[in-house]
């Protein structure tokens, strides 16, 4: 299966990574809520760095799946 390199939305074309970026952001918000409720952030050295690394990992994984 070949993924398109561009996605058209309302007459404008965007790179295929834009929907992946938005999906990674939504998944990140859900995981952030779950980790905050479970108390995981109390066990992490730098919670903001952990959040950033989690987002980068999600987005990179989606980018690898797309391309």
Classify residue 51: in a domain, yes or no.
Answer: yes
Residue 27 resides in a domain:
yes
Does any domain span residue 8?
no
Does some domain include residue 3?
Answer: no
* 15-66 pLDDT per residue, tens: 878 888 999 999 999 999 999 999 998 999 999 999 999 999 999 999 888 7
26 lies in a domain? yes
The answer, yes or no, to whether residue 8 has pLDDT greater than 90, is no
Whether 43 maps to a domain, the answer reads: yes
Output the CA angle 29-35-36, nearest 5 degrees: 90
Q: Which domain holds residue 47?
A: 16-66
Question: What count of Cα atoms within 13 Å lies in the side-chain half-sphere of residue 66?
Answer: 19
Residue 42 within any structural domain of the chain:
yes
- DSSP 8-state secondary structure symbol assigned to residue 44: S
Return the HEC string of 18-40: HHHHHHHHHHHHHHHHHHHHHCH
CA distances 62 to 18, 43, 44, Å, are 11, 27, 25
For the chain, the domain total comes to 1
């Amino acid at each position: 299966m070949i993924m398109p390199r561009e996605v058209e939305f309302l007459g404008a074309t965007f790179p295929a990574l834009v929907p992946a970026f938005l999906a990674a952001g939504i998944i990140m918000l859900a995981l952030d809520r779950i980790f905050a409720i479970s108390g995981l952030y109390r066990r992490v050295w730098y919670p903001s760095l952990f959040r950033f690394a989690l987002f980068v990992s999600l987005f990179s994984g989606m980018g690898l799946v797309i391309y």
